[in-house]
């Protein structure tokens, strides 16, 4: 069939070169040979060791039964687990050190990340190279095809089909470097396994970039890391007292309560981050800016219009 799409023609030419050296004839010969020897071996085994096979099958069956019982017990315990809303924790200053811990009070009823994504979506993410702690920058990951690019938050929400909240205002924002994408993260050392959708937007009336991240935890450890309970660590903070400003009066349009944290950095720059959860997904809306009030207004506006 003639193909008039120039991109398709280039794809065909490249694949043709890529696959030319593989020889199906060698595959056929090897398959025939291996099947032949396997048939011979099976016949021999059946004649020689019927008792051994029975014993082996019994042992395998016993292992399967034990494993199933253990797994059922674990699942029963997990099913009863519910993470209670934590009372606000006091800010923990460590005198004599250069670290400041900012505690957030984030409410999350249960960790359901692995349940809310369909097998299809999970398979698509798992087919990517997982991003680990030592991974490269996002821009490089995009180049490497290690992420799933989305046209818009609505596009991401439709594809994930897991109740992802979106802010309609974000969709129309011009941004040259707009790179909304989904990625799969797996840090084996800490068993931190999650899927995240990450976007950066320029916001009208602000010079700053707004970062909106949605984390879907796939392990208890990922939930622990991203539920906000451990806070932020700052080094060489000139005025740690400022870090304790945490608001609890911010709500999404669906009534999810968000915490708003202000963390001072170097040269008068603030990190302003709102953090909330909705149906098993953890959201972070953040901005780095010198304009604390303006930044707060932008973060509030984004959060309050999430729906």
Partner 1 sequence: MEDGFDFEAYLEAGVGKLTGYCAAVVGSADAEDAAQEAYLRLWRNLGRLPNEAAANSFLYKTAYRICVDLLRARKRFREPERPPAQNDALSDGMTAALLKLSPADRAVVYCRVVEEEDYGAIAARFGKNEAWARKRFSLARKKLRLTLEKEDKHNGGF
Q: Work out whether strand 246-251 and strand 257-264 pair parallel, antiparallel, or are unpaired.
A: antiparallel
Nearer of residues 23 and 239 to partner 1, judged by Cβ: 23
For 61, the token pair is: 């069956």
Instruction: Please write down the long-range contacts of 290-298, taking CB distance under 8 Å and 24 or more positions apart.
Output: 291/206, 291/208, 292/262, 294/205, 294/206, 294/208, 295/206, 295/208, 295/270, 296/260, 296/262, 296/272, 298/203, 298/205, 298/206, 298/208, 298/210
Residue 60 makes contact with partner 1 by CB under 8 A: no
Interface pick for partner 1 out of 98, 133, 143, 188 (rule CB under 8 A): 143
- Measured distance CA(63)–CA(74) in Å, rounded: 17
Residue 159 makes contact with partner 1 by CB under 8 A: yes
**Measured from the CB of residue 163, what is the shortest distance to partner 1 in angstroms?**
18
Interface pick for partner 1 out of 45, 144, 188, 293 (rule CB under 8 A): 144
Nearer of residues 12 and 235 to partner 1, judged by Cβ: 12
**Measured from the CB of residue 85, what is the shortest distance to partner 1 in angstroms?**
37
Number of residues interacting with partner 1: please give it, by CB under 8 A.
Answer: 42
The full length of the chain comes to 307
Interface pick for partner 1 out of 116, 124, 157, 173 (rule CB under 8 A): 124
Residue 71 makes contact with partner 1 by CB under 8 A: no
Ramachandran area for residue 134 (φ above 0: left; ψ -120 to 50: alpha; else beta): alpha
Residue 59 makes contact with partner 1 by CB under 8 A: no
Stretch 86-105 residues interacting with partner 1 (CB under 8 A): none
Nearer of residues 32 and 207 to partner 1, judged by Cβ: 32
Contacting positions for partner 1 (CB under 8 A): 1, 3, 7-8, 10-24, 26-28, 30-32, 34-35, 38, 120, 123-124, 127-129, 142-146, 148-149, 159
């Amino acid at each position: 069939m003639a193909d008039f799409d120039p991109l398709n023609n280039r794809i065909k030419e490249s694949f043709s070169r890529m696959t030319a050296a593989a020889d199906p004839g060698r595959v056929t010969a090897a398959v025939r040979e291996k099947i032949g020897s396997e048939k011979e071996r099976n016949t021999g085994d059946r004649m020689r060791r019927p008792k051994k096979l029975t014993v082996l099958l019994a042992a395998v069956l016993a292992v399967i039964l034990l494993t199933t019982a253990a797994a059922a017990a674990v699942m029963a315990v997990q099913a009863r687990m519910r993470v209670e809303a934590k009372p606000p924790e006091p800010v923990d200053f460590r005198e004599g050190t250069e670290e400041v811990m900012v505690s957030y009070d984030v409410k999350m009823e249960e960790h359901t990340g692995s349940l809310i994504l369909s097998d299809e979506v999970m398979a698509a993410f798992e087919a990517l190279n997982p991003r680990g702690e030592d991974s490269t920058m996002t821009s490089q990951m995009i180049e490497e095809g290690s992420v799933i690019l989305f046209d818009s938050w609505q596009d991401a929400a439709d594809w994930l089909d897991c109740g992802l909240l979106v802010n309609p205002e974000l969709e129309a924002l011009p941004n040259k470097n707009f790179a909304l994408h989904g990625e799969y993260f797996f840090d084996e050392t800490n068993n931190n396994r999650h899927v995240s959708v990450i976007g950066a937007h320029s916001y009208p009336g602000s010079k700053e970039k707004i970062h909106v991240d949605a984390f879907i935890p796939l392990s208890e450890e990922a939930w622990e890391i991203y539920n906000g309970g451990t806070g932020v660590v700052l080094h060489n903070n000139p005025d740690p007292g400022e870090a304790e400003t945490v608001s609890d009066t911010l709500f999404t349009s669906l009534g999810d309560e968000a915490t708003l944290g202000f963390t001072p950095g170097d040269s008068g720059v603030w990190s302003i981050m709102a953090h909330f959860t909705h149906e098993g997904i953890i959201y972070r809306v953040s901005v780095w800016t010198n304009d604390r009030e303006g930044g707060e207004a932008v973060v509030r506006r984004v959060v309050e219009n999430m729906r």
